[in-house]
Structure 1
Amino acid sequence: MAINELESLGLDPENLRGQGYDNGANMKGKNIGVQNLILEKYPRAFFVPCSNHSLNLVVNEAAAASGATVSFFSLVEEIYKFLSGSSNRWDIMKSHITTASTLAPKNLCTTRWSSRIAAMKPLRLNLGKIIAALDEIENSTAFKDKVRYEAGAIIDKIDYPFVCAVCMWYDVLSHVNIASKALQSIDSDLQAAVLCLGSTKFFLEEYRSTGPEKVFSEATEICESMEIEVVFTNSRKRVAVGREINSEESFQNDFIDVVLNVAINAVEERFVALEKHNSTFSFLYKFDDFDQNRRNGNLLKSCKQLQVTLSKGEECDIDVDELISEMTVVAELVKHRHLVRVIDILNGIKSSGMENLVPNAVIAYRIFLTSPVSVATAERTFSKLKITKNYLRNSMSQDRLNGLATISIEHEIADSIQYEDIIDEFAASKARKVSFY
């Protein structure tokens, strides 16, 4: 189906040099997934997993790591639903939070993991004001007894372990949110993605050892300011005969470590393919030990590995011997101009007029830069369908829907088009009157 669609658009599938999808099993499957079926027929269309969808799945897996994490996010959702359940309750909340538009409780979304950081920020920065709003509702005679009871029940659930969980999730999601925004940048490439994801993995591993102490310290300070008792519900937990651990250690083992371990394992599992693919192209931008790699044969080995990746039968996009000589020229350019990013190296080759001198290197750089690091930006275009095909256009044909969606997505190009000329051309082609002069 995908190949047929490409051919209908006049695109030759033989020119495929990469394919990227979300991390669903039907797309990325090694045996019967779409990427494998295409790869069997077009071996140069190597698969690059979407880094943004990987982050999405990492966070979702960590959020469902245990019953404690599921219970925590259920309470976060309960707070939002209760306060937004009526305009009167929401007005009381806004009277306590002056910046309600940005720091009011937010709803959790199952398909947009970024909603979790949006929901966590108000709880981390305005938890005291949210509790004050709930307390006012509980003590107000303007509300029914059921509503007042629900407000009091939510307040009782906001205890020291809940505050600890808020502090931990806020730190983790804040870092992941920054990494996700960097990966969604229009300038992001495979080099930047690997560095960004590597820093995320390092942060999670570092936070696993240093984070608990920071969490307990911040949670204690917050609870003391709001007069919440700094104590865990279960003061002691027996784990083995003759050995007991305190509640703080139990919370760290059963909640913090579980979440971080699941997140770290998910990162390692989902980014293996991305790191492996990057290793094939890494010699294109790592020039620190270029002379040594050239002498000991590592450069030749890397070029041959790239040749295998870009080969189909006897056809190959590059010539190994020529590429080695060309990389020597590129190395001098990089050293002279102090270039670091791959896009800067390619632009440096073009600005120096060296494109015809290093054609194999240019091909390698272009393929590297066009590797589909993320498909999240492309998937956002699906939201245009809801705008285009509403209840007034419910009977719209598929061709018309595709045309209108394309105009909406490429609105910058559409704005530059002179519609008068198109209208005149359309009117002339549809004119039924015959001119006899």
Structure 2
Amino acid sequence: MVEEYWVEFLKVDDTSGLGLFTELKNMLTNLELDIDDIRGQGYDNGSNMKGKHKGVQTRLLEINPRAFYTPCDTSEDPKTKSEAESLATHELQNFEFLLGMVIWYKLLHAINTVSKFLQAENMDIDVVISLLEGLLLFLDDYRESGFDKAMVEAKQIANEIGVEANLEKSLTHNGHSDIDGDDLFLELTILKYSLPKETKKAIDVVNYLKRMDGCFPNACVAYRILLTIPVTVASAERSFSKLKLIKTYLRSTMSQDRLNGLAMLSIEKKMLDQLDYGPQISGTALVATTASRLPWPCLRPLRSITAVAGPASPLSRLFHLHRGCHSV
């Protein structure tokens, strides 16, 4: 199963491409993650992030060319025409660029169709709701199965203009490749006949490959990378929406640790719902029982400390007493 988790908010003083990339490397080091294991990266449209000379994505690609970059190009840029001409001149020989164009054309065409109707003077609310629901269904379906269709169409275009689609080359760095191209072709040839009929999504294929226990190693790696590459950065943007709800004007002096803790509880709420609080409650009851049996001289200095610290709940007072008595 491929999962996405929020980690934490970072306080950054240097917002240049180099400064942000340094923070990224330090973060990966603290988490004991290897930068060479990254297979996808996605950022907003800031020049310090997407810049092709000194941006974060370029600096990361210099170290790890297999970290495929997914842009979030949702804002208007006065240099769009110039960049489009440059891409048409220099990037059309790149298969990944062709594939990206096919995907974005399908998505933006569907969105543009609905957007034009929403701007009409005689639009009706019931028709608008129906169109929006249809658009959401299209996006959900495209997210699950549209990539395969886009890949076929991109290959047809590549064959017509003479562009080579070499996945093995794209996944090779320092003489090591994640897959073997010839073996992958043979595995996919067999796999398409052995997949269950109900398998329609990429994640279903990965789950099936796991059950096969290593029979299709190259296909398993390729599909895992496919599901790892970020399609959008919407989930990361939603975390900033949570940040605005947590760190308000009245909470402007909140510490970084507390902010990350509250954000984790809010963003990863599904994970929180699965936690078992039984051991914590039992431990708290044990602390309360132990504290009630302690002699008065041990509790006396600690009561004064708690009083100086300000009002506290009975639970927090017992916790302070418990910790303090161990330090006596």
TM-score with structure 1 setting the length: 0.44
Deviations 1:279-323 (A, max 9, x none): 79x88xx9xxxxxx9xxxxxxx75xx1111111111111123322
- Aligned match of 1:4: 26
Rounded Cα–Cα distance in structure 1 between residues aligned with 2:180 and 2:168:
7
Rounded Cα–Cα distance in structure 2 between residues aligned with 1:16 and 1:387:
31
Aligned-partner residue type, residue 8 of structure 1: N
Rounded Cα–Cα distance in structure 2 between residues aligned with 1:17 and 1:3:
15
Superposition deviation, residue 402 in structure 1: 1.0
Q: Secondary structure at the match of 1:37?
A: helix
Superposition deviation, residue 434 in structure 1: 4.6
Rounded Cα–Cα distance in structure 2 between residues aligned with 1:429 and 1:44:
53
Deviations 1:397-416 (A, max 9, x none): 11210111111111122133
Alignment of 1:99-138 (within 5 A): 120=118, 124-125=122-123
Change (3 A) 1:435 1:17: closer
Question: Is 1:47 matched with 2:1?
Answer: no
- Aligned match of 2:143: 188
Q: Secondary structure at the match of 1:318?
A: coil
Rounded Cα–Cα distance in structure 1 between residues aligned with 2:189 and 2:148:
25
Rounded Cα–Cα distance in structure 2 between residues aligned with 1:3 and 1:279:
36
- Aligned match of 1:378: 236
Change (3 A) 1:3 1:126: same
- Aligned match of 1:404: 262
- Note the aligned Cα RMSD (angstroms): 4.5
- Aligned match of 2:189: 328
Rounded Cα–Cα distance in structure 2 between residues aligned with 1:47 and 1:176:
29
Change (3 A) 1:177 1:2: farther
> Looking at CA atoms only, which structure, 1 or 2, has the larger radius of gyration?
1
Q: Secondary structure at the match of 1:360?
A: helix
Question: Is 1:23 matched with 2:45?
Answer: yes
Aligned-partner residue type, residue 124 of structure 1: N
Question: Is 1:344 matched with 2:298?
Answer: no
Change (3 A) 1:361 1:413: same
Of 75, 78, 86, the residue aligned with 1:57 is 75
Rounded Cα–Cα distance in structure 2 between residues aligned with 1:182 and 1:377:
19
Aligned-partner residue type, residue 345 of structure 1: V
Change (3 A) 1:9 1:431: same
Rounded Cα–Cα distance in structure 1 between residues aligned with 2:67 and 2:209:
26
Superposition deviation, residue 387 in structure 1: 1.7
Rounded Cα–Cα distance in structure 2 between residues aligned with 1:367 and 1:177:
30
Percent of residue pairs identical: 38
Rounded Cα–Cα distance in structure 2 between residues aligned with 1:397 and 1:313:
42
Alignment of 1:230-241 (within 5 A): none
- Aligned match of 2:167: 306
Rounded Cα–Cα distance in structure 2 between residues aligned with 1:429 and 1:122:
68
Alignment of 1:161-310 (within 5 A): 179=135, 182-183=138-139, 185=140, 188=143, 192=146, 302=165, 305-310=166-171
Deviations 1:364-387 (A, max 9, x none): 011112210011122112111122
Superposition deviation, residue 126 in structure 1: 6.5
Of 320, 325, 328, the residue aligned with 1:433 is 325
Superposition deviation, residue 178 in structure 1: 5.8
Deviations 1:46-104 (A, max 9, x none): 11224xxx4x437x99xxxxxxxxxxxxxxxxxxxxxxxxxxxxxxxxxxxxxxxxxxx
Rounded Cα–Cα distance in structure 2 between residues aligned with 1:387 and 1:348:
40
Change (3 A) 1:416 1:40: same
Deviations 1:302-346 (A, max 9, x none): 5xx111111111111112332233222212224x73755433333
Q: Judge conservation of contact 2:243–2:263 (CA < 8 Å) in 1.
A: yes
Superposition deviation, residue 422 in structure 1: 3.5
Question: Is 1:359 matched with 2:220?
Answer: no
Q: Judge conservation of contact 1:43–1:312 (CA < 8 Å) in 2.
A: yes
Aligned-partner residue type, residue 192 of structure 1: G
Q: Secondary structure at the match of 1:400?
A: helix
Instruction: Kindly tell me the number of residue pairs found equivalent between the two proteins.
Output: 232
